[in-house]
C-alpha cells in the first residue's frame, strides 16, 4: 500500500484537527491489584493525585466516533483500550491497542486503518501495526517516535483528559449540573456536566497542546467542548464523555464532530510497562516508503 508516513507520526491527529484551529501565525498486560479501602474524598483533584504512585495505574476502555460531512455523511469508529501507568506526577507510561471501523470505506483505506498497539514509556512512543505495518523493514515490528501524549493517528481520543489534575480542576469549575450517574466499575456515581472552551483547555492541558500543535486562533478558542464526568464515592473518575465540533470548511468543506466515551476502572492496578526489545525497533529513517500519498487519510474517508 502506498503511504506518506511522514504525515502519520505522533502528530497525525493534528494533521486533521490543527489546520482549522491554530492561528495563522502559529507554527498492556497488567494484573489488577486488590482494591484498598479508601475514605471518601471531598476533592476530586486530591483523590486523583493520591493515585500517582510508581507502578500503579488505571485501565482505559475508550469508544469514539468521528462524524463528517463530505460527499455524504460518514463516520469513523474507534475503540481503544489498555493500561495507563502512573508516576509521582501523573501518567508516565501506557500500553494501548487501537482499532478503527470505517463503514463503506474501500479495501485500501480499511487496510491503512488496521489495528495497532502503542507503548509509550519515558517520553518515547512505539507503535506496531496500523499505518506503519507494511512500511517496516524486515525483522522490525515497532516504529519509534519521540513524544507520547497523543496516540498516533487518533484525533477522536479524549480531548478532555480527566487524568490531568489541572484539566480536571478546570472542567469541574464549569459544572452546570449534578445528578446520579448510575454504577460504573462497581461504584455508584454522580455525574457532573458542563462545557469548557477549547482555549481554556489549551491553557491547562498538555494533551490538548500536543493534539493541536499550536495555539488556537481567536475564533477556535471559543469552541465549546461539552463534557460529563462520572465520579465515584471516592471522587475518582469512572467515566468521562466529551464532544465538540469543528469546521474544516475552506480546507476540506467538512464539519467534523468528535464524540468520546472513556471508562476508567481498576484504579491502583499494578503495572510495569517496558519498551519493546531494541532488536525489533525501527526509526522513521528506516522505513521502506512507496509513492507519497499527500492527502490526509482521515479526511479522505469522508471525501470518497
Each residue's pLDDT tens digit in the chain (304 positions)? 434 333 344 444 444 455 556 554 444 454 554 444 454 547 999 999 999 999 999 999 999 998 886 666 778 888 999 999 999 999 999 999 998 887 766 666 666 677 889 999 998 999 998 877 778 898 899 999 886 554 544 666 789 999 999 999 999 999 999 999 999 999 999 999 999 999 999 999 998 988 887 888 888 899 999 999 999 999 999 999 999 988 765 445 567 889 999 999 999 999 999 999 999 999 988 887 665 544 555 656 666 5
Closest CA to 222 of 27, 11, 23: 23
CA distances from 246 to 81, 158, 160, 162 (A): 25, 15, 15, 21
- Determine the pLDDT at residue 246: 80
- Determine the pLDDT at residue 12: 44
Closest CA to 4 of 211, 286, 282, 295: 295
- Determine the pLDDT at residue 230: 98
Closest CA to 119 of 83, 68, 157, 76: 83
The span from the CA of 64 to the CA of 70, in Å, is 19
- Determine the pLDDT at residue 184: 96
- Determine the pLDDT at residue 302: 60
Torsion over CA: 301, 133, 61, 15 (sign)? negative
Residues 6+ apart with CB under 8 A from 297: 8, 109, 112, 113, 131
The span from the CA of 220 to the CA of 204, in Å, is 16
pTM: 0.82
β-sheet bridge partners, residue 91: 86
Q: How many CB atoms lie within 10 A of CB 40?
A: 9
Which three cell numbers mark 148? 507520547
Residue 243 half-sphere exposure toward CB, CA atoms < 13 A? 10
The span from the CA of 189 to the CA of 246, in Å, is 31
The b/e string for 262-284 (b: 16+ C-beta within 10 A; e otherwise) is bbbbbbbbebebebbeeeebbee
- Determine the pLDDT at residue 304: 56
- Determine the pLDDT at residue 102: 78
Amino acid at each position: 500500500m502506498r503511504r506518506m508516513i511522514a504525515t502519520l507520526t505522533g502528530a497525525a491527529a493534528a494533521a486533521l484537527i490543527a489546520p482549522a484551529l491554530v492561528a495563522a501565525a502559529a507554527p498492556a498486560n497488567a494484573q489488577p491489584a486488590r482494591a484498598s479501602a479508601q475514605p471518601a474524598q471531598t476533592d476530586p483533584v486530591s483523590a486523583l493525585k493520591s493515585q500517582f504512585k510508581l507502578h500503579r495505574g488505571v485501565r482505559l476502555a475508550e469508544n469514539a466516533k468521528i462524524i463528517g460531512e463530505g460527499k455524504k455523511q460518514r463516520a469513523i469508529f474507534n475503540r481503544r483500550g489498555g493500561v495507563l501507568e502512573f508516576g509521582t506526577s501523573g501518567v508516565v507510561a501506557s500500553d494501548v491497542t487501537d482499532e478503527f471501523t470505517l463503514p463503506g470505506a474501500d479495501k485500501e483505506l480499511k487496510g491503512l486503518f488496521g489495528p495497532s498497539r502503542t507503548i509509550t514509556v519515558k517520553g518515547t512512543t512505539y507503535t506496531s501495526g496500523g499505518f506503519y505495518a507494511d512500511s517496516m523493514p524486515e525483522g522490525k515490528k515497532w516504529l519509534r517516535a519521540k513524544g507520547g501524549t497523543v496516540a498516533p493517528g487518533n484525533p477522536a481520543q479524549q480531548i478532555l483528559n480527566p487524568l490531568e489534575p489541572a484539566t480536571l480542576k478546570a472542567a469541574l469549575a464549569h459544572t452546570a449540573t449534578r445528578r446520579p450517574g448510575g454504577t460504573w466499575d462497581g461504584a455508584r456515581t454522580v455525574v457532573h456536566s458542563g462545557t469548557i472552551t477549547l482555549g481554556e483547555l489549551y491553557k491547562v492541558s498538555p494533551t490538548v497542546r500536543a493534539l493541536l500543535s499550536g495555539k488556537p486562533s481567536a475564533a477556535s478558542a471559543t469552541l465549546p467542548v461539552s463534557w460529563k464526568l462520572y465520579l465515584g464515592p471516592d471522587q475518582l473518575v469512572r467515566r468521562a464523555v466529551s464532544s465538540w465540533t469543528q469546521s474544516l470548511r475552506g480546507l476540506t468543506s467538512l464539519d467534523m464532530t468528535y464524540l468520546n466515551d472513556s471508562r476508567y476502572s481498576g484504579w491502583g492496578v499494578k503495572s510495569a510497562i517496558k519498551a519493546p526489545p531494541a532488536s525489533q525497533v525501527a526509526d522513521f529513517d528506516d522505513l521502506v516508503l512507496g509513492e507519497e500519498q499527500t492527502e490526509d487519510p482521515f479526511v479522505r474517508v469522508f471525501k470518497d
